[in-house]
Chain A
Amino acid sequence: MPLITYREALRTALDEEILRDDNVVVIGEEVAQYNGAYKVTEGLWATHGDTRLVDTPISEAGFVGMGIGAAMLGLRPVIELMFWSFAYVAFDQIVNNAGCVRYMSGGLLHVPIVIRGPANGGTNVGATHSHTPENLLANMPGLKVVAPATAYDAKGLLKTSIRDNDPVMFMENTLLYGEKWEVPDNEYLIPLGQADIKRSGSHISLIAHGRAVLTCLKAAEHLAAEHDIDAEVVDLRSIRPLDEETVLNSVRKTHRAVVVEEGKPFSGIGAQITALIQEKAFDDLDAPIARVSSVDAPAIYSPPLEKRQLPDAQRVIEKVLKIS
């Protein structure tokens, strides 16, 4: 299987879907002629032209709204946000229009839109460019939220998201764009709402999404080598819809869980997963559920401090040892 980058996997998904369906159109700042701020769309404008890759002014509320309107009328827009942090100026469009219109129209209108872009800290771009809003958006019924951790998942999930008839918030990570994974050439789809066991284990479940999954895998290797603890790593992949069964089955097997995320702890995904486990698998728990998340403060600008703010393998290991 060829090794390709996360960025290339996303591009392949876009390329395949543009070819497959005339209604797919990529819209965003510098997605066409400049080949994308992070080069995800590199070469696509040259291949597919102005009608399929549309450059926009710096006005997220405007072009996200335009995409939502286009989706209501039948197109399948893929909106690129240079950073998910910029989604906040388009929040009314995303939450009130994309999220609510299917319900408020009694099912007459659908919004088959994908809004994608990086949603991560750790790159020294400051608090206003480092948001991880998966918990905010997953809190809105009507929106789907996806966060792939690998190139393989990125491709399969993006293709499924484009074909989905509801708005999908697709959260990537700039730190992963250049990382390589094995990705098959042939077409494949990964359903939304299907978590993935990235590492099978029997002593504790590490539950994560996005880049935190890789942190957990690193921690799991160390735990096995140094502490004789066999950790299972559950990658949520999609946060909403959420694959409750895979999470619960893992905890029913290992009887312990640490939930890891790069988002903030307060009302975070970790809080949601923790509540889920204690509601539905309380009697299977042999230890309290622990959480590891970003330190609860705006993204710190100082690079050494920002590095400490985000969860790393060491913090995961410490939490695991604390409850074991």
Chain B
Amino acid sequence: MPIPIEMPKLSDTMTEGTLLRWVKKVGDSVEVGDVLAEVETDKATMEMEAFDEGTLSEVYVGEGQTVQVGEKLALLLGAGEPKTASTAGKQTETAKQPAPDKKQAQTKPAEPPAAPAPLKITATDSGVRVKASPLARKVAADLGVQLEDLPGSGPGGRIIRDDVLAAHEKQSSDTPQPAKTTAPAMVGQPASQSDVQVPLTGMRRTIAARLLEAKTTIPHFYLQADVDAEPLVQLRQQLNAANESVGLPKYTVNDFLLKATAVAATHVPKANASFAGDAIIQYAAVHLACAVAVDDGLVTPVIRDAHSKTLSQISSEVKDLASKARSKKLKPEQYQGGTLTLSNLGSYGVDQFFAIINPPQSLIVSVGAILRKPVINAAGAIVPGQRIVLGLSCDHRVVDGAIGAQFLAELKRLIETPALMLV
């Protein structure tokens, strides 16, 4: 049996992939586990391995082409297996285009190879599978209701028409009027010939979709605290001096902030949670995501079980994850499943900001740079101090103001008395 090789789903949100490079060529023999090609997903560049052995007999997708998950990429034949008519040349052959028959060419203008229509079954734009009845889907599309966050009242939590109608009614009574945006979508247009149009990468597309969804569907609120960073700076100097003397790597301010965030999340477990339609999931473990800027966007690799890791473990792990992120070598399990996120723009000199929540999480901590500022000390005198501003964006469906404030206060306490995070 010829075995078709399809675009694999390499991440939970992947709907399409770009075939960057064929490692195997037509005619090459393939063993189980051999790398066939490199594929760029919305998150990373990954190696696509063979699950069967045989000979690569046909390649349907050329390098640089982007195709839907599940689409045929190539055909593998077993030993001594002849190519059958049903499998040969049926697909869009971009890798090996046969010379067109002259007669045909005269009567029929060459058509571009027809790309099969993308098959979208149950995944929504954000890639989340939603269980909804066909009628609910139709009505939701008609009314412009997002299915993702609706609670389903049908058997097994299925979203049915009534749920969509109720959500629509609520939407239209909650929002005053501007629901009817018939104005054309705000899309930029090149204004002059020197403007450059940069096509969206898979990552850019995902960032655009996810953050738009986050900002439009999650009710954000924001808290901010001005924190004394002096004790942390001193502790860091001490530890780094000690490390340096024995040749160990230095800790960054960010390492301490990650550690503090993980500890704070264990102390305020209600903050380490997600909204799940008809329930709130409180996570037992803290999987701490950390925003890392990369060439054409950002990724949020995850320090798993951060609550049980020491400062030095966190420090070396985040270093490793960040370098993998920059070289696009992160594996799905290294960027999936985060329960809250820390975003640090301190190294750019930003003094404060509020990040957009990374769904389905419900908290993101935004930290700026440690800045020297005049502060009023306990004695009422103005003295030079080192301050850092913490921003916290919360999903109000999960985290109320008081919980957010508790979390922030805990974070502040840990940073101002950093020895607490070591116990």
Contact = CB atoms under 8 A, between A and B. Distances in A.
Interface of A: 255, 282-287, 322-324
A221 to B, nearest CB: 23
B161 A255 contact: yes
A257 to B, nearest CB: 12
B155 A286 contact: no
Interface residues of B, number: 11
A284 B134 contact: yes
Interface of B: 133-138, 154-155, 158, 160-161
Majority-rule SS of B interface residues: helix
Given A284-B138, A285-B133, A286-B161, 4 more contacts: A283-B134, A283-B138, A285-B135, A323-B155
Nearest to B160: A286
B134 A282 contact: yes
Nearest to B136: A286
A286 B140 CA distance: 12
A282 B133 CA distance: 9
A287 B155 contact: yes
Nearest to A322: B155
Contacts of A282: 134
A285 B135 CA distance: 5
A286 B135 CA distance: 5
A285 B155 contact: no
B132 to A, nearest CB: 10
Contacts of B135: 255, 283-286
B63 to A, nearest CB: 39
B138 A287 contact: no
A255 B154 CA distance: 13
B121 to A, nearest CB: 13
A323 B153 CA distance: 11
Closest 8 CB pairs of A and B: A286-B135, A283-B138, A286-B133, A286-B161, A285-B134, A286-B160, A283-B134, A282-B134
Nearest to A283: B138
A49 B20 CA distance: 88
A322 B137 CA distance: 21
Nearest to B163: A286
A255 B136 CA distance: 10
A286 B134 CA distance: 6
15 contacts: A283-B134, A284-B134, A284-B135, A284-B138, A285-B133, A285-B134, A285-B135, A286-B154, A286-B161, A287-B133, A287-B158, A287-B160, A322-B155, A323-B155, A324-B155
Contacts of B137: 283
Contacts of B133: 285-287
A176 to B, nearest CB: 34
Contacts of B158: 287
Contacts of B138: 283-284
A187 B364 CA distance: 79
Contacts of B154: 286-287
Contacts of A322: 155
Nearest to B164: A286
Contacts of B134: 282-286
